[in-house]
Amino acid sequence: MSGLGERIARQIAASGPLTVAQFMALALFDPKEGYYRQAQAVGRSGDFVTAPEVSQVFGELLGIWCIEQWQRLGEPQPFKLIELGPGRGTLMADALRAIALRPALREAVEVHLVEVNETLRQQQRQALHNVPVVWHESLEEVPPGPFELLANEFFDALPIRQFERAPDGWRERLVALDESGALAFTLSGPVPAALIPQESRAAPTASVLEIATGGDALLSRLAERVRAGPGAALIVDYGYVQPPLRGTLQALRRHERVDPLSEPGATDLSALVDFSALAAAARRVGAAVEGPITQAELLTSLGAADRFAALRQANPGKAAALDAAQHRLISSDQMGDLFQAMAVLPPGA
């Protein structure tokens, strides 16, 4: 086991099993050895490839979305463009290139990046070397005021709790130690029904329900900012509207799926995002929600076909690579339907 794995095992031996959320929080965000504190993570040389790394068109079209929303917000100046979890900085660099189509917006924009990973911050610095950027550890650190926010594959990295329907009621999945001292999943005793949303309480035996308490709370705070800012936020992630009633926690290392408990701190852990819970959290504080719609619908409505056609015309030698990228981002058997996009907007927008 990794050093972090051994520390987690010692903690469990001393104080008992952890919830899946507590385990994820340690594995991903432990200040010294958490995966998102240091890992290279994103890109072909990392553990997974994200949409902005597939093609510049993804970030450019999100930049077009920013122009449209800025106009809807009444063209405020100055104006913050915030990104949660900017990875290698590729999305922001591509979005800013598109935003430059509206010089007044480009001039008004201050870039704020929320990132906890020092290795990725360095890469963001390189990708955005000609742009003044302010980095933050959390959204709360970003000063108030009119803003737009982009978050691609951010919410899937936030810790979730898992509940399993046993024959005698709901129990919580926990991370404990097996006889050999290795990390292993186990179940708690029965949990109060109030922890399980009403609509899922009668799910069949062996169903697994996931609840992202931290993600939902972050979305409420974001939605409050959207009302006050005013602001507009676009969240793109792989997720669902109807709970799939199965566990979706997964671990990736070098593009391969591995056991989520095998190497805490060395693997990327993520879970599908519950968009209905996020939408409910936004509506509870009075913000408006659009979507979710599929990534295919979002990119197509923002002009993906025209942009890819223009790039093919300008780079005939790259036509095959551009076809492949378009297919990967938009086809339903690729990222097109698996990824969803949801906007949080001021009331009445």
Ligand X SMILES: C[S@@+](CC[C@H](N)C(=O)[O-])C[C@H]1O[C@@H](n2cnc3c(N)ncnc32)[C@H](O)[C@@H]1O
Using Cβ positions, the residue closest to ligand X within the complex turns out to be 85
Using CB under 6 A, which of 81, 114, 341, 344 touches ligand X?
A: 114
Nearest Cα residue to 270 out of 50, 65, 32, 1: 50
- Indicate the residue among 9 and 273 with the shorter CB distance to ligand X: 273
3-state secondary structure at position 279: helix
End-to-end CA distance of the chain: 51
> Which range of residues in 72-80, 113-121, 189-197, 219-227 is near ligand X by CB under 6 A?
113-121
Sign, CA torsion 43/48/51/55: positive
> Is residue 36 at the binding interface for ligand X, with CB under 6 A as the rule?
yes
Contact 340, 237 (CB under 8 A): yes
Q: Which residues pair with 134 in a beta bridge?
A: 112
Q: How far is the CB of 132 from ligand X (least distance, A)?
A: 20
> Which range of residues in 48-56, 255-263, 297-305, 311-319 is near ligand X by CB under 6 A?
48-56
Q: Which residues pair with 250 in a beta bridge?
A: 270
Residues with Cβ within 8 Å of 52's Cβ and at least 6 positions away in sequence, in order, are 58, 59, 87, 88, 90, 91, 94, 152
Using CB under 6 A, which of 18, 109, 120, 273 touches ligand X?
A: 120
- Counting residues that bind ligand X (by CB under 6 A) gives 18
- Indicate the residue among 175 and 235 with the shorter CB distance to ligand X: 235
Distance, CA of 322 to CA of 54 (rounded, Å) = 10
Using CB under 6 A, which of 19, 55, 56, 117 touches ligand X?
A: 117
> Is residue 157 at the binding interface for ligand X, with CB under 6 A as the rule?
yes
**Which region holds residue 291: left if phi is over 0, alpha if psi is between -120 and 50, else beta?**
left
> Is residue 231 at the binding interface for ligand X, with CB under 6 A as the rule?
no
- Indicate the residue among 30 and 153 with the shorter CB distance to ligand X: 153
Distance, CA of 197 to CA of 188 (rounded, Å) = 18
Distance, CA of 282 to CA of 296 (rounded, Å) = 23
> Is residue 42 at the binding interface for ligand X, with CB under 6 A as the rule?
yes
Nearest Cα residue to 147 out of 88, 105, 201, 191: 105
> Is residue 152 at the binding interface for ligand X, with CB under 6 A as the rule?
yes
Total residue count of the chain as it appears in this document: 349
> Is residue 35 at the binding interface for ligand X, with CB under 6 A as the rule?
no
Q: How far is the CB of 42 from ligand X (least distance, A)?
A: 5
> Is residue 50 at the binding interface for ligand X, with CB under 6 A as the rule?
yes
Using CB under 6 A, which of 30, 153, 164, 274 touches ligand X?
A: 153
Please give the helix or strand (H or E) that residue 303 lies within, else none: none
Nearest Cα residue to 69 out of 236, 223, 231: 231
> Is residue 275 at the binding interface for ligand X, with CB under 6 A as the rule?
no
Contact 238, 340 (CB under 8 A): yes
Give the contact letters, 65-104, x = binds to ligand X (CB under 6 A), - = no.
--------------------xxx---x-------------
Using CB under 6 A, which of 65, 79, 154, 308 touches ligand X?
A: 154
Relative to beta strand 183-190, strand 231-240 is unpaired
> Is residue 116 at the binding interface for ligand X, with CB under 6 A as the rule?
yes
Q: How far is the CB of 58 from ligand X (least distance, A)?
A: 8
Distance, CA of 54 to CA of 281 (rounded, Å) = 31
> Which range of residues in 10-18, 72-80, 148-156, 249-257 is near ligand X by CB under 6 A?
148-156
> Is residue 230 at the binding interface for ligand X, with CB under 6 A as the rule?
no
Binding positions for ligand X, rule: CB under 6 A: 36, 42, 50, 52-53, 85-87, 91, 114-117, 120, 152-154, 157
